[in-house]
Chain A
Amino acid sequence: MIQITGLTKAYRRGRPPALLDLTFDARPGMVTVLLGDEGAGKSTALRLMVELERGHGLTLFDGRTYRRIRRPEREIGVLLPTGRPEAGHPGQRARAHLRMLAGVVGVPARRADDLLEQTRLAAVADHRIGTFSPGMHRRLALAAALLGNPSTLLLDAPTEGLSPSNEEWFGAFLRSFALSGGTVLTTTRAPEEAAALADRVITLEAGRLAADQPVAEFRRTRPHPEVLVRGPQMARLADLLTAQGGQVRRDGGAGLAVSGIDRTEIGELAYRNGILLHELADRVVRRAVAYPSALPGGSGRFGQVSVRTVRRGAARQEETGGETGREGAEREPADRNAAGQPPAAPGTPRPATVGRPAGPEQERPFDHRGPQAGRWAAAALAPDLSVQTKAKAQAASVPAPASPAQTAPAPAPAPPPTVDLTRRAPRGASALGRPAAPPAEPTTAETRAAGARATGTRATETRPVEAVAEVRDGDRGVRADAAEAEHLSANPTDAELLTPARIRGVGRPPAPVRPMPGRPWSAGATGLRPAEPAGRSREPGAADPRGTAPNGGAADDENGSE
């Protein structure tokens, strides 16, 4: 678990900062990819993390900074390019080089030979490093990083300039490393690679965090299909295409990049108008972050990495309608504890900040079930039991100065009826009471499935609602909550809808197709996915707006990943 908080690299006056307030988490068992252009601050971020450069902000590896770790090589493997292609002194032989580093790390020299085997370098181990190819250099550097048998990998552009087969090898290696429970944080410039490799994609733009997406959402929103057309009469074709409603831009000397119109359509159009084409090909280009995003407000550890979705958030709010109010009511006890009675809760982990909830709030963006959470929890519990338990929990939280983290377990012990719902119960509860640390196992699945829908939505809804909630009287919050619980028990639709068949999205008309439930590793397979799920999830929902749609996806993802 790497917690990166507020990494900032600022230069003197006149130059923009290389990195500004970067905050995210890299979790074990996942591959986290920092995606960004040249100069976006990826390498700077990694170098700041291991404190090779001076900067601001903190990086905690399992709670300690890099300097504090007694033997960092044993816990963190770092692969940072040094500006030279060679992995070591070019006159040294690979085996001697690795054995030397094994001495530095403090592991037996046998480990060096093992790693040479693992990185497919055993055959050339007795040759000088100067004779190696870039891919071999990279593999040797990886072997050096792995010498101490670390549980965390920090890799800076590991596949930069490698052949496809090497790239694939790297990807497979990183995936297996993450699957065995390691934490991988790597950087890349290629969105396709990020989509194929990552569980979580963090996009940097000019040193700022532009997006923090699970890979499913990334795949859905970021790669952008285009058709590349080349030929001698492109100006005329461009006019025709524009008339057809496509977006056209120049691509090189005699080329057009068309989006919005199918390849076959373009071909037919050209044929009908007698335009000669030399090339007509699909391709995928990267699209900038699909929505205007604001900077994360303040240093994210006390708020969250919040990507503000303007368009989608607005749509979502229209769609869910009155849920906002309910959400506010639901949150109110928490806010009362945080802001309303600060001195009464001295030992609680959250500082008494006014205006925004602290600590546990950081889990929010990953918890995409925002508005639905209460309902799901209620549905997961036995219908009659849920009302009382929940009401009791909320009522208990008002007089007692306990933080919501402490009240959270209250609803959880109620035995959930089925296996499938068991998985949901702690999550619903966590969304309800917001414990500081949700159970680890659901988290990974959750994070993967999560922001697929509502990373941004959550953030946009949270702020204004809280502001309102603080102004209000606290008792009203409890009342509203109780009323909501009553409403839930009286209206069992969600509980009904939570049957396994529904969860899989069998009976639903607009079943959202998840692009890649269990991320197969292959760049080709993940290359181009039409953006239909995006369109669908944005539709103001049909008969069942909120219950099952994300649920199906979550269930699929869980099955795929575990």
Chain B
Amino acid sequence: MRLMASEVRRLRGVRSTWVVVAGAVAVNAAVAAFTASRLPTGELATADAVRAVAAVVPALPLPLTALAAAVLGALAYGNEARWPGLPASRVTLGRRLSALLAKSLVVGAAALLLTVVTLGVNALAVWLALPAAVDAPTLFDPSGLPGAPFAAGGIGRPLAAFPALVLAGGWAGLLITSLVRSAVVGILLTCALPALLEPTAGLLLHRTGRNWPLWMRELMPFQYGLDFVRSAADRTAGALDGVVAAALLAPAALLVLAAVLAQVRRRSL
């Protein structure tokens, strides 16, 4: 308990926490507003609404909020590993494990809080930015919701999956950083993980005869990004065409670009 209290103190005392949270909320709101402003006219589809409120950016490996949670988790461990306040007090396994547990609990709570905040702000942004042509009475009117929000077509399930995704992002950031002891590496690996996991899991599910539920597909950004790009280009394309190849090569190109840019500012390798 006292470990959790001190972890909360650490989280509050560090500037980066507030920067990350504020940036995540702002970018989320901006993305949500942008998505909402470009929604097609007519009745608002549930999927579109979910995308808009969750501020899913195509081709990002994780939703923005989950990414922010991953950064928080990675920093929670990375800072401690980099500037250990009392290095000698972490010698025994039990103390380290309890510290890790406290961190994961605090990061999880922070991730959930962040989810609530961003969802609220995003909903507000979407509501403000909705074009007049789009009518969404059923979605934003609580009384007008379809009987069971957790029914197949409802908005409930995706919105429940979203916090879970954010939570998983935060914990993944924390635990992956605990493997590599560096916050930056931890964040990068966390970003790389879904791009590997999603197709694999999707493939496995497909082999067993099932598929991602549609509402999951909305939130899983990699798949969604593929769908997004493909729908924009050519819906009738084959399984492995130029678009998929481009989607797979884009991260590599981005990596090369980032590596070159990183060298620009340095004085040593």
Contact = CB atoms under 8 A, between A and B. Distances in A.
A392 interface: no
Contacts of A97: 13, 85
Interface in B115-170: none
The B interface, classified by DSSP as helix, strand, loop or mixed, is helix
Nearest to B10: A100
Contacts of B12: 96
A104 B86 CA distance: 9
A144 B85 CA distance: 7
Dominant secondary structure at the A interface: mixed
Contacts of B86: 73, 78, 101, 104-105, 144-145
A15 interface: no
A50 B5 contact: no
Nearest to B15: A91
A463 B232 CA distance: 92
Contacts of A101: 6, 85-86
Interface string A96-117: 1101111111100000000000
A52 B90 CA distance: 9
B87 A78 contact: yes
B88 interface: yes
Contact of B82 (A84, A100, A144): A84
A89 B79 CA distance: 7
Interface in B1-22: 2-3, 5-7, 9-10, 12-16
A96 B92 contact: no
B239 interface: no
A82 B80 CA distance: 12
B13 A92 contact: yes
B84 A100 contact: no
A92 B14 contact: yes
Q: Pick the most buried of A97, A144, A154: most chain B CB atoms within 10 A of its CB.
A: A97
Contacts of B10: 89, 92, 100
Nearest to A69: B92
A67 interface: yes
B89 interface: yes
B2 A80 contact: no
A284 B194 CA distance: 65
Interface in B68-121: 79, 82-89, 91-92
Nearest to A154: B88
Interface of B: 2-3, 5-7, 9-10, 12-16, 79, 82-89, 91-92
5 contacts: A88-B85, A91-B14, A99-B9, A103-B6, A104-B6
Closest 8 CB pairs of A and B: A103-B6, A96-B13, A78-B88, A91-B15, A100-B9, A50-B88, A92-B13, A101-B85
